[in-house]
Amino acid sequence: QQQQQQQPYQTTMLSLRFFVLSCLSLTATTTSGFVAPSSSRTASVQSSSTSSSTLINVVKYDKTEEKWITTDPETEGPAAGYDIFGSLLRAGPKPVFVRIFQSENYEQAILKFMAGDKVGRLEAQANMDQFFENAQDWVYNRLQAEKGGYKPDYVTIKKDQIALRLVWSSVVFAFLGRAIYCYNTGDSFYAILSS
């Protein structure tokens, strides 16, 4: 009988943890969209339009270390790109996890894309974020663009994405508030449905 009483408590705690994690990620996506760009981001936007000959000299493969390196980390290194919240807003949570747990692979993918396609940091980073989010769609879009079809803009954050995430986060906050209230008062989480 004691196990049966603990079952709803464990379910509520799991739900509470899920809501807290969801709210944290959604809060990060909604708040970072309204931050003014810093000077380093402004500089990276300008550097993303640099010429192909300049980019050839900036990103090189180092055979001794067996990895891609940039000779100009200020304009084409990790600090020149957008932050982790930029990845979250542009492509969702998958590239964020890659950035956190496989940061070296993430950086190498960006540098390799920059060298191969002769593009700037922002375009390469946005493309790799989309690749990590959904590789099949990214490959399809890339093939269509190479055939002269539609080429998606992965760099620009669309305002409707921010609005949808804002609405979604308000729903999650409502549930989280209800879960915290029920946890503190001992009320049933589902009691509001029976009223």
Tens-place pLDDT, residues 16-26: 555 555 545 54
Instruction: Inform me whether the pLDDT recorded for 9 exceeds 90.
Output: no
**In this predicted structure, what is the pLDDT of residue 39?**
37
What's the farthest any 2 CA atoms get from each other in the chain?
Answer: 73
Tens-place pLDDT, residues 47-86: 444 444 455 568 889 899 999 988 888 888 888 899 988 8
Those residues with Cβ within 8 angstroms of residue 55's Cβ, 6 or more apart along the chain or in another chain = 76, 114, 115, 118, 119, 120
H or E segment to which residue 69 belongs: strand 67-70
Contact 119, 59 (CB under 8 A): no
Cα–Cα dist 143/146, whole Å:
5
Q: E-strand spans in 75-180? A: none
* pTM, full prediction: 0.60
Tens-place pLDDT, residues 140-156: 999 999 999 999 999 99
